[in-house]
Structure 1
């Protein structure tokens, strides 16, 4: 017996020459073993099989998105504002400086290398070096650098780590070769600031001469961040500095006194010269005045009364200004203001 879709089918087996009669057990009364209304697919054991469900589109969408992202990662790159890209197409490099989203052909047609275009600071390690006067110093240098030619840099060094390694090695070697040409006073003396600036300039110039041009690097500044005396020779260095400063102070004092004496002698000489010139000029003025006075006296001698009258008028004109004066009219030349000024004059003459 076989159950299928809730219908019961009765079958009677017979010999080959006997026909098999089969009817559905439901009310449809069809001659088929299972009616189309109640028929369902069954497996080889006769167990009904469930109908296939409709497949979801989500896996297809996820696959498409992942494929698109992979294509964008292979065929595009993002260039930041502080970066420069070197794009190699079949071995021919080119530089891309415009920031933003950039397209590229997949490998092996094109290869893209990104480099930081900012100025970098490299701080060296503490090193003990010897100055020109055999004094040991512990120095920590530093420098600022940047990539000047990205094509040369990508061909020669290629990575920032390799560039810092080369710069660190060169800085260590140049530091000793420059410091040996200077004495301790150039670093910690009276003019230490100008001395350090001169040393830093010499190290940077040495970098420009020694650093190969095909590296594509530019060293912008070299400085010294730490300058320490070793503990074992600190006292001797301090005493030596005291003696050097005392000698410098004495030299400056002698130089100042010499310059003061020179200035004083020049001032005395200039004063004497000017005094003599003033005396000579005063004598000339006095002689000229006496000559003019002699001429005036000769003219006045011809008419003394008229000369005195003119002199009194001149004196009166000078005295009568835009001020209020309380005067004695009996005193010349104010007697000229009196109606009988002439009589007063005669009385005075008598």
Structure 2
């Protein structure tokens, strides 16, 4: 009984020690086994690993491709134009021992700071040697590849492989943006004023052409109306002349009636004439014919 009481704690201790000597590496991880800060084992494949309990420790690192959004950096271009540039880098740990020696216990966080200190100067070096038009163009893949190659060479000492670097923003500094926007607004306003002026000029030409067309059409219509009116008057006078030639007395009679009608209209006007005036010849006549001086007398049979 006493022997069982002793063996049980020993078995528990041995079991706990055995369990603490085991560790599992996930497929997304890489691990180092350290003993008093010294690397004793590298575990890059997923699966079960062993270590000495209480003496050795396991440090795990991300084995996947990681991202680094850099902080914006101001770059002076070859044409003395300044741009604010930031980038996004893709990287991964390739050498666990060098990585551990370079970043120490800081791990990935320290690696991000070190890597950003490599990429930002590479951006300034590459972009500072070209004009801003090339940086702002759509075809800037060659520039990003140059930045990647520089960062890749310098990051090898960290046990890191820089896979890719992409420029995500290329803007003017804040102090220049307002001036640039003001200049753009002024240019657009000038273009708008030019368009308005050209539109007004075109509208004026259209109105002048329309007015000229109206005058021409009106003049032509009046000319045609005058021609038609003259032809009508000539035809009317010819009819009058023919009628007068056929019966001069009837013509004189109708003309007198028309004169009476125009002269004796109702109103406030007054007319004073002698009773024996020729105007009243037909009024004095009983028959309207024969009594008129100069009228022809019918022949007696």
In the superposition, the TM-score normalised over structure 1's length comes to 0.44
1:98 equivalent to 2:41? Answer no
Q: What SS is found at the alignment partner of 1:95?
A: strand
Cα distance in 2 between the residues matched to 1:64 and 1:234 = 79
Cα distance in 2 between the residues matched to 1:143 and 1:66 = 50
1:157 equivalent to 2:100? Answer no
Correspondences of 1:188-207 after superposition (within 5 Å): 188=136, 192-194=137-139, 196-207=140-151
Relative distance call for 1:69 and 1:236 in structure 2 (3 A) is: farther
What do the CA deviations read for 1:129-171 (whole angstroms, capped 9, x no partner)? 2111111112121101101111211222231111111011112
1:111 equivalent to 2:57? Answer yes
> 2:71: which partner in 1?
125
Relative distance call for 1:135 and 1:73 in structure 2 (3 A) is: farther
1:171 equivalent to 2:119? Answer yes
**Alpha-carbon shift at residue 73 of structure 1 (Å):** 5.6
Does the 8 A contact of 1:120 with 1:146 survive in 2? yes
Bigger proportion of residues as helix:
2
Superposition RMSD on alpha carbons, in Å? 3.3
Does the 8 A contact of 2:39 with 2:97 survive in 1? no
Cα distance in 2 between the residues matched to 1:223 and 1:143 = 6
Does the 8 A contact of 2:32 with 2:39 survive in 1? no
Q: What SS is found at the alignment partner of 1:193?
A: coil
1:138 equivalent to 2:84? Answer yes
Q: What SS is found at the alignment partner of 2:138?
A: helix
Q: Tell me, which stretches of 5 or more residues in structure 2 are unaligned?
A: 1-7, 186-301
Correspondences of 1:199-278 after superposition (within 5 Å): 199-211=143-155, 213-230=156-173, 231-235=177-181
Does the 8 A contact of 1:94 with 1:151 survive in 2? no
Q: What SS is found at the alignment partner of 1:129?
A: strand
What do the CA deviations read for 1:195-227 (whole angstroms, capped 9, x no partner)? x2111011111113333x332111010111112
Cα distance in 1 between the residues matched to 2:29 and 2:179 = 49
Does the 8 A contact of 1:93 with 1:151 survive in 2? no
What do the CA deviations read for 1:260-294 (whole angstroms, capped 9, x no partner)? xxxxxxxxxxxxxxxxxxxxxxxxxxxxxxxxxxx
1:82 equivalent to 2:28? Answer yes
What do the CA deviations read for 1:232-283 (whole angstroms, capped 9, x no partner)? 44258869xxxxxxxxxxxxxxxxxxxxxxxxxxxxxxxxxxxxxxxxxxxx
Q: What SS is found at the alignment partner of 1:157?
A: helix
Q: Tell me, which stretches of 5 or more residues in structure 1 are unaligned?
A: 1-60, 240-350
Q: What SS is found at the alignment partner of 1:153?
A: helix
Does the 8 A contact of 1:75 with 1:103 survive in 2? yes
> Alignment partner for residue 134 of structure 2, among 183, 186, 193?
186
Cα distance in 1 between the residues matched to 2:93 and 2:41 = 15
In the superposition, the TM-score normalised over structure 2's length comes to 0.51
Name the stretch that deviates more: 67-76 or 125-134.
67-76
Cα distance in 1 between the residues matched to 2:183 and 2:128 = 17
Cα distance in 2 between the residues matched to 1:209 and 1:149 = 14
